[in-house]
């Protein structure tokens, strides 16, 4: 790709960007949300048209890629972060969607099933071409996307944040597949915010910032400081800088959960968090962290358990009860369970508090709502031209800040943040950490659930650990003994018991 530029009205998304990918390499593409990564890849795939002046060459030949089908026929396959599968169709039907095999004018499912099987075998998929996609796990659906891409015989495979919803074990299997595809001569462009993945997989790394190409590093040139500086223009040491530290004595307990149990994934869990304290909950994917949060919030029915806010027991049967008690929950899936993507920032920020300033007769006070949205944009640093833009058009980090703004409008005493920085870039992560620290300073009690140990350690005063649905221990930060990954992992993996044995 040479000299690629793209404007959307007055906004310049890409400015004279060039990118080269070689056969048989994994080329990581990094940058903050909004840096232009997805726009560049959509131009490559044919989903967007670049401004005049640039060119795309495949195998040295200039091509005009007018639409995604033309891109696919040119050997370009893209697997987006949000999987684009039809859950009501079979695996084979998804693989050949839009290019179905036919016999006598009718779809030939027998031939499609037979054609799909070799690709599934190649990926060691544990399902058949006739399996309904709705019955598959997220990791298995990812394999369907890869199989669909391979069925088009691609020269170039773009993978956008492919491990976001995968466990560590599932991600490792995916890495093995990616390396195999590279060894078969496919050029893989790998978009990720996760440094560890980039170090493990990439042969080269290119960095975009504010729509411009900052530079490309060879594998042997990679180091955290250089990458972070290229992406955000500052050192990585500033990201986990915790200013506020809750005192360990004379603390007033803001939230106490006793004997929380759903009879399935959460078993007899009890913990407390004080005003001004940030409590981290660590554990492997599937350990029950999210399920515990949803029980406290009333999103799922509990078998037993009690919730106390400021020492008073509250009957929480649903999220409305929780909000009334001063508890808010930021879901790990902001797109499906958190935001109204087709609504404006204004609509999302105000939806929980519309009744607070309604005029007589229930007439909405639009001026008050507009002021509230403008204040939220300024306070949390949401990057948007105005409050009327649809939330679905924002970057992941800005979407997360809009959702957090909506929760804060209810003036909560307790915030439960489930994977608060999932799918956002390192700059947006730093801003969210700053917001968490500021909220703790005001006396809010904050629970942070995260799969990233550096994040849990960086933001928390204390960390409790879940394993197999049980809370198995805690690690407390001391002035002379900070929380360590090793201490958490001993509890996560039960290494402490093994040592004792």
163-187 per-position pLDDT tens digit: 876 767 778 888 998 999 999 999 9
User: What CATH number does the domain located at 4-235 have?
Assistant: 3.40.50.300
For residue 33 the two structure tokens come to 């949300």
pLDDT for residue 226: 82
For residue 323 the two structure tokens come to 């909000």
Please give the average per-residue pLDDT across 124-137, as a whole number: 90
Nearest to 158 by CA among 274, 69, 77, 74: 77
pLDDT for residue 112: 94
- Asked whether the beta carbons of 446 and 440 are under 8 A apart, the reply is yes
Nearest to 77 by CA among 67, 90, 65, 68: 68
Distances (CA, A) of 156 to 10, 25, 75, 76, 409: 32, 10, 6, 5, 46
Report the mean per-residue pLDDT for the chain: 86
DSSP assignments along 410-437, one per residue: T--SEEEEESTTTT--HHHHHHHHHHHH
Cα gap 321→297, rounded to integer Å = 8
The pTM for the full model equals 0.60
- Asked whether the beta carbons of 487 and 499 are under 8 A apart, the reply is no
In the predicted model, is pLDDT for residue 495 greater than 90?
no
Cα gap 256→251, rounded to integer Å = 13
Please give the average per-residue pLDDT across 477-498, as a whole number: 70
pLDDT in tens, 462-480: 999 998 899 999 988 776 6
| 118 or 235, which is more confident | 118
User: What CATH number does the domain located at 239-326+412-501 have?
Assistant: 3.40.50.300
Please give the average per-residue pLDDT across 311-329, as a whole number: 94
pLDDT for residue 241: 60
Please give the average per-residue pLDDT across 93-110, as a whole number: 91
In the predicted model, is pLDDT for residue 312 greater than 50?
yes
For residue 280 the two structure tokens come to 């981290």
In the predicted model, is pLDDT for residue 66 greater than 50?
yes
pLDDT for residue 20: 96
Q: What is the residue extent of each domain of the chain?
A: 4-235, 239-326+412-501, 344-410
User: For 327, which DSSP code?
Assistant: E
Please indicate whether the domains covering 4-235 and 239-326+412-501 agree at the CATH topology level. yes
Please give the average per-residue pLDDT across 400-404, as a whole number: 87
């Amino acid at each position: 790709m040479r000299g690629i530029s793209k404007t959307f009205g007055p906004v310049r998304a890409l400015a004279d960007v060039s990118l080269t990918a070689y056969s048989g390499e994994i080329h990581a593409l990094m940058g903050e949300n909004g840096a232009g990564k997805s726009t560049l890849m959509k131009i490559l795939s044919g989903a967007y048209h670049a401004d005049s002046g640039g060119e795309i060459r495949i195998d040295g030949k200039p091509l005009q890629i007018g639409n995604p089908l033309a891109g696919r026929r040119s050997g370009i396959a893209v697997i987006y972060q949000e999987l684009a599968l039809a859950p009501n169709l079979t695996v084979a039907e998804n693989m050949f969607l839009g290019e179905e095999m036919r016999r006598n004018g009718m779809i030939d499912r027998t031939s499609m099933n037979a054609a799909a099987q070799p690709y599934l075998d190649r990926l060691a998929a544990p399902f058949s071409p006739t399996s309904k996609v709705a019955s598959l796990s997220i990791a298995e659906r990812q394999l369907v996307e890869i199989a669909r891409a391979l069925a088009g015989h691609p020269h170039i495979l773009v993978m956008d944040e492919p491990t976001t919803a995968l466990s560590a074990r599932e991600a490792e299997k995916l890495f093995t597949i990616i390396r195999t595809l590279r060894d078969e001569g496919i050029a893989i462009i790998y978009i990720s915010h996760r440094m560890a993945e980039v170090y493990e997989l990439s042969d080269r790394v290119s960095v975009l910032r504010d729509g411009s190409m900052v530079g490309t590093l060879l594998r042997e040139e990679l180091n955290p400081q250089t990458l972070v500086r290229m992406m955000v223009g500052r050192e990585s040491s500033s990201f986990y800088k915790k200013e506020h530290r809750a005192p360990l004595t004379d603390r007033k307990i803001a939230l106490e959960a006793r004997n929380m149990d759903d009879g399935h994934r959460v078993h007899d869990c009890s913990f407390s968090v004080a005003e001004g304290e940030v409590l981290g909950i660590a554990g492997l994917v599937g350990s029950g962290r999210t399920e515990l949060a949803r029980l406290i919030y009333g999103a799922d029915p509990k078998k037993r358990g009690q919730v106390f806010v400021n020492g008073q027991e509250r009957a929480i049967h649903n999220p409305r009860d929780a909000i009334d008690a001063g508890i808010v929950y930021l879901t790990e899936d902001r797109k499906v369970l958190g935001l109204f993507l087709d609504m404006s920032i204004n609509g999302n920020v105000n939806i929980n508090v519309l009744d607070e300033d309604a005029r007589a007769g229930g007439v909405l006070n639009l001026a008050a709502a507009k002021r509230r949205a403008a204040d939220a944009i300024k306070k949390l640093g949401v990057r948007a031209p105005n409050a009327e833009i649809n939330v679905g058009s924002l970057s992941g980090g800005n979407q997360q800040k809009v959702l957090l703004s909506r929760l804060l409008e209810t003036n909560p005493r307790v915030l439960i943040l489930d994977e608060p920085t999932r799918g956002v870039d390192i700059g947006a992560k730093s801003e969210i950490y700053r917001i968490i620290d500021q909220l703790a300073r005001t006396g809010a009690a904050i629970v942070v659930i995260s799969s990233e140990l550096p994040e849990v350690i960086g933001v928390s005063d204390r960390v409790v650990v879940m394993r197999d649905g049980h809370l198995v221990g805690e690690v407390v930060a001391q002035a002379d003994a900070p929380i360590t990954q090793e201490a958490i992992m001993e509890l996560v993996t039960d290494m402490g018991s093994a040592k004792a044995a």
